[in-house]
Structure 1
Amino acid sequence: MSHPHPELTAPAPLAEGGLRVTPFGGLGEVGRNMTAFEYAGRLLIVDCGVLFPEDHQPGVDLILPDWSSIRDRLDDVEALVLTHGHEDHIGATPYLLRERGNIPLVGSELTLALLGSKLREHRLKETVHHVVKEGERITFGPFELEFVAVNHSIPDALAVAIRTPAGMVLHTGDFKMDQLPLDGRITDLRAFARLGEEGVDLFLTDSTNAETPGFTPTERGITPVIDQVFRESQQRVIVACFASHVHRVQQVLDAAYAHERQVAFVGRSMVRNMGIARDLGYLTVPPNTIVDAKELADLPPQHQVLISTGSQGEPMSALSRIAQRTHNFVHIEEGDTVLLASSLIPGNENAVYRVINGLARWGARVVHKGNAMVHVSGHASAGELLYCYNIVKPRNVLPVHGEIRHMQANAALARMTGVENVVIAEDGVVVDLVDGVASVAGKVDCGYVFVDGSSVGDITESDLKDRRILGEEGFISVIVVIDSSSGKVAGGPEIHARGFAEDDSVFEDVKPAIIDALDKAVADGATDAYQLQQTVRRVIGRWVSNTHRRRPMIIPVVVEA
């Protein structure tokens, strides 16, 4: 087994006849999945998703994969294959297409339809796209692709087999093995077995649930729980789930119809995605069930259902605004039931519980994964992964999609079934498949690319550190006017603070020390404004640390007059 090490150097040129695999995201975190495959100078990309920011990344909207190492080679990209329509697999595609707009897109009908609406939002032209189904084959340059049905928490998910002269790769995408899926479309283990018989040289497997023993419960197991929630609710029911979770929405629509309730979608992405799913036939709407959200308010509460975004506590989502009573037309009332029908993504716990507490404060009953079986994972647990390894019998395994602990657990499962060569990599770690053996070849630069408003990649870790200091420790500005002829303080210091002290008079004690320090600095020959600003920063920084045990951001301004 190989481990990624920080001391890895840039990889040597790819050996003739070899296949190079470079993950730009998704290995070491749950999100921003993107992997490039290279053969004979040509590239194939699988997935291009986003990661959502955590509390310690203030002001960041999205985090993109870092494809800077191939930025000058985008003309070599034969196609971008999208395994399914979740944001962590398609969300960064518009940013990639800004850099080369004619990359052919390959994916299932629903996946490309969800992406199409996203591209229109970004005002990007529809690029060449190839709608594929399970069982189909299509060739781009040296890459022959075959697609395999897998089930996940969104319809129309696909695994992809990539045949090259260097060998065959099987990439599962996100998948599980639900034997009773709501849409009847099971993971095609017969195709996995057939590919295994042909010989899978490298198996890239979803690691997200590798630490969870046994098998992921079936989606159908949730139906009775949702039905019970509706049966026990005397007033309005509000359901929050991912805007792409068509199966969960289908279960809610069926329960609403059975209990003579009408449903409205709330949240722009929910309205858009469910409209697409309905138009394409992936969502079956019972008669007279869907109404506009504003019309719903005219119905008695016991006949109302709202399906909303915001199951992860996102601050601007519909559910967060409902919890804060700032939503335009949805006002939570005592006796309402709120159903959080989703998993808890690591890092979102505080935000979710903040929303739950906000809803409970207004008298709502909140049903969530912690107190009822209202969600099952979309990822294969350890038992399912063992089945896959035994069926596929791969020569080499590269665990993907997960944090390091998930990938290590996945690697352990592969070794238990007899796989001798398991490679653990992280984002940027290059893996070469040469003569049927996969090994780490080096590492390319691969960091976080932050999207902040319209800015892409301009925000650095240093900027985020400054923002965290502003949020946690406060901000102090100091303005001093220096007489240009005498070098003496002619005005100020004028000191203002935010998030540190309510009353600026607390700084009266430190003002004489600032003046003394500036006089001494000028006497010692300091004339440069930057040197004088640093003098101010040191004095007030030391005083704040000693008297208040705080480390706020300090911005000194020295003006010559």
Structure 2
Amino acid sequence: MYVIEYANDIVVIDCGNKFPDESLLGIDLIIADTTYLVENKDKVRALLVTHGHEDHIGGIPFFLKTLNVPIYATRFTLGLIEIKLKEHKILRESELIEIDSSKKIKIGNMNISFFKVNHSIPDCLGMVFQTPEGNIVHTGDFKFDLTPANKEYSDIHKMAQIGNEGVLLLLSESTNAERRGWTPSEQMVGDHLDAAFMKADRKVIISTFASNVSRIQQVVDAAQKTNRKLVLLGRSMVNVVKVAIDRGYLTIPDGMIIDQRDINIFPQEKITILCTGSQGESLAALARLSTGNFRGVDVLPGDTVIIAAGPIPGNEKNVTSIVDNLFTLGANVIYGSGSSSGMHVSGHGYQEDLKLMLTLMKPKYFIPIHGEYRMLHHHRMLAESVGVEEGNTFILNNGDAVEVENSIAQQSKKVPVGNTYVDGVDVGNMEFVLRDRKQISEDGMLMIILSMSRAEGKLIAQPETISRGFIDNNFSELRTDINQLAIKTVNELQEEKRYSRNRMKKQMKKSIREYIYARTKKEPMIVPIFIEI
């Protein structure tokens, strides 16, 4: 999420989500902290969306629940946003406005225009914000594919025109700033898919990003050339294919798509399965197929499985585990990096793509975005190599702001930000909850149940200690000691006439925690439970 603010007008660019790593136990999503926007909600005019990937639209339903402003996006992107808003039951009260590269809009003192860029999803835009201080350009995610499979060409001439008119500040994505050369064309994947389909003796199972409609179209074309039926597995795959067909971005012959329950009606060599799970997600279709847990669909010896996506850093272990499972089932598996398998090319520009964008735009100031720090650093070096003055590039952290006055930019204030977590229906800062979950996951939990007389405040039965995720060996002896310690704590507080529920809980946690650590070197969560009778 990026924010452009001029005078009394704020425009927000993109509103995505991140997926949690293993340290964020139980968390479903991470979304942007909108505290600053909520505090200035009277200034927030609109949300502009560059394209429909999750890291750019995944947080929109949560955003709209606090800041219900108009959303501007292209036809395909709006289709994906509508699915999310329906799931959250807020579609009716949301204002969705369709734009394209020829559209011009005015928001406050900003005139905004757009230009086409090529990426791994249809209908992607870069944006130009004309302000009294100068023009600000946000590229969105892009690469320069001169032979795109979907025929959506980057509007290079319009980019050159924007550059000639003058760009004060450019924000450009940095995902592949470490990779030399040009990003390969999506057409290369189509040739390799055709060859794999021709060679396959039995059914073909292919997993890719559901949003990569160009890749899906190439799968459809390969299936048509080999006279195969197509089965879709995975909710996101079904949803995206429906949006793409309904809005004219995907062409599938009538009768090609069949229900998964009809797979066994046709010869196995006439079946193609297109599924989710290319990143090793444990509940996605490919992972379930690899373990034999997808009802009605089996991976059999001789089947061809193609993973037509490169693993996002951090997902390699999960993907490798699925590949192992598939080989165990006797499948022929085509996997690995795009350069080795030929089944994937990146949707993000390599170094030469990034340098071309910088050369076309000729910015005075530059902010590399969308990448880890090392990627932003490499992008800064690329910018300086093609003419951006040293010192005119800003590498920003979350919350950092760049102020422009009299067409001079400088890094200034920092807006307080943090992570906002989505945990089921709960949304917010859950640091305390995560701390407790981490403690339980590492050292377990002990519950000490004490039955007390309500009138006298005395124990009327022996304490009962229950362990979850703690130790098993010699726990009977430890339980006896813990119960005795609990009795001692209650009696001592009563003798000192300092009995109160809160004080007793606090003292009991302290004494039992110290005792357990001395005995076991563990620090389980201690939960005293008082039952008053």
**1:107 correspondence with 2:73:** yes
Aligned equivalents of 1:373, 1:552: Cα separation in 2: 50
- Cα distance change, pair 501–301 in 1 and its aligned pair in 2 (3 A): farther
Gaps of 5+ in 1: 1-33
Aligned equivalents of 1:515, 1:354: Cα separation in 2: 50
SS in 1 for 2:115: strand
Q: In the TM superposition, what is the alpha-carbon distance from 1:522 to its structure 2 partner?
A: 4.4
Query: Which among 510, 530, 551 is matched to residue 523 of structure 2?
Result: 551
1:82-231 matches, within 5 Å, as 82-101=49-68, 103-124=69-90, 125=92, 127-231=94-198
Q: Taking structure 2 as the reference length, what is the TM-score of the superposition?
A: 0.92
Corresponding position of 1:293: 260
Corresponding position of 1:4: none
Per-residue displacement from partner, 1:478-531 (whole Å, max 9, x unpaired)?
A: 123456788765433311122224575353353334444544454455422333
Asked if structure 1 preserves the Cα contact closer than 8 Å seen for 2:37 and 2:44, the reply is no
Asked if structure 2 preserves the Cα contact closer than 8 Å seen for 1:207 and 1:406, the reply is yes
1:194-273 matches, within 5 Å, as 194-273=161-240
Corresponding position of 2:422: 451
Q: In the TM superposition, what is the alpha-carbon distance from 1:115 to its structure 2 partner?
A: 1.4
Corresponding position of 1:476: 446
Aligned equivalents of 1:143, 1:506: Cα separation in 2: 73
Corresponding position of 1:398: 367
Corresponding position of 1:22: none
Q: 200-209 or 534-543, which moves further after superposition?
A: 534-543
Per-residue displacement from partner, 1:15-43 (whole Å, max 9, x unpaired)?
A: xxxxxxxxxxxxxxxxxxx1111112111
**1:414 correspondence with 2:383:** yes
Higher relative contact order (CA 8 A, sep 6+): 1
Q: In the TM superposition, what is the alpha-carbon distance from 1:300 to its structure 2 partner?
A: 2.1
Gaps of 5+ in 2: none
Per-residue displacement from partner, 1:420-443 (whole Å, max 9, x unpaired)?
A: 200111211111121222211211
The letter for the 1-side match of 2:434 is L
Asked if structure 2 preserves the Cα contact closer than 8 Å seen for 1:75 and 1:100, the reply is no
Percent identity, aligned pairs only, is 35
Query: Which among 1, 5, 9 is matched to residue 42 of structure 1?
Result: 9
Asked if structure 2 preserves the Cα contact closer than 8 Å seen for 1:532 and 1:558, the reply is no
- Cα distance change, pair 499–331 in 1 and its aligned pair in 2 (3 A): farther
Q: In the TM superposition, what is the alpha-carbon distance from 1:543 to its structure 2 partner?
A: 4.2
SS in 1 for 2:402: strand
- Cα distance change, pair 225–470 in 1 and its aligned pair in 2 (3 A): farther
Work out the number of aligned pairs and report it.
526
Asked if structure 2 preserves the Cα contact closer than 8 Å seen for 1:487 and 1:519, the reply is no
SS in 2 for 1:138: strand
Asked if structure 2 preserves the Cα contact closer than 8 Å seen for 1:147 and 1:161, the reply is yes
Corresponding position of 2:465: 495
Query: Which among 33, 39, 49 is matched to residue 66 of structure 1?
Result: 33
Aligned equivalents of 2:328, 2:476: Cα separation in 1: 38
The letter for the 1-side match of 2:72 is V
Per-residue displacement from partner, 1:158-195 (whole Å, max 9, x unpaired)?
A: 10111111110110011111121102222222222111
Per-residue displacement from partner, 1:446-503 (whole Å, max 9, x unpaired)?
A: 111111112221x512211222222333222112345678876543331112222457
Corresponding position of 2:479: 508
Aligned equivalents of 2:442, 2:63: Cα separation in 1: 35
Query: Which among 518, 538, 555 is matched to residue 510 of structure 2?
Result: 538
1:434-449 matches, within 5 Å, as 434-449=405-420
Aligned equivalents of 2:313, 2:460: Cα separation in 1: 54
Query: Which among 399, 408, 412 is matched to residue 428 of structure 1?
Result: 399
Asked if structure 2 preserves the Cα contact closer than 8 Å seen for 1:44 and 1:143, the reply is no
Q: Taking structure 1 as the reference length, what is the TM-score of the superposition?
A: 0.87
Asked if structure 1 preserves the Cα contact closer than 8 Å seen for 2:38 and 2:67, the reply is no
Corresponding position of 2:299: 332
- Cα distance change, pair 262–162 in 1 and its aligned pair in 2 (3 A): same
- Cα distance change, pair 525–440 in 1 and its aligned pair in 2 (3 A): farther
- Cα distance change, pair 558–116 in 1 and its aligned pair in 2 (3 A): closer
Q: In the TM superposition, what is the alpha-carbon distance from 1:411 to its structure 2 partner?
A: 1.6
